[in-house]
Amino acid sequence: MKSVNVSALEASAEPGLPASIGVARCITDAQLPTLAGGVGRFNVEIELTDWKFARDEVVVVIEGQLSFTSSTGERVAARKGGMLIVPADTLATVRASAGTEIVFVTPR
């Protein structure tokens, strides 16, 4: 498993993410001024430490497995077809299996 400390990352195609994670932000239309979101794919098994969720976020797992462990030790996980809701200001470790695909939505 690849472990990445988010606070130590340099700029990549998607700021704050390593190149092994593909992200397409496709909910950006001016007609949806209160929502943002997109799709993501984890190409390798990965662990992102110190990930800060600035806003509430809903994540639907399309393929694979995804988990979040908060700084207080609370762990939530979802597999294909599952959904996770993460409150704003959550500091967490994010873990994903290789090939995990997600859809995410957050308020702007």
Give the pLDDT score at 6: 40
Q: Tell me if 103 is assigned to some domain.
A: yes
Give the pLDDT score at 9: 34
Residues 6+ apart with CB under 8 A from 11: none
Give the pLDDT score at 35: 85
Q: Tell me if 82 is assigned to some domain.
A: yes
Measured on CA atoms in the order 10, 95, 103, 55, is the torsion positive or negative?
Answer: negative
Tell me, yes or no, if the pTM score tops 0.85. no
Q: Tell me if 32 is assigned to some domain.
A: yes
Summarize the chain as % helix, strand, coil (round to 5): 5, 60, 40
CATH number, residue 44: 2.60.120.10
CA angle 83, 89, 94 (to 5 degrees): 50
Chunk the chain into consecutive blocks of 10 residues (it has 108) and report each block's average pLDDT, rounded to whole numbers. Answer: 42 56 68 81 89 92 95 94 94 93 88
Domain region containing 101: 2-7+20-107
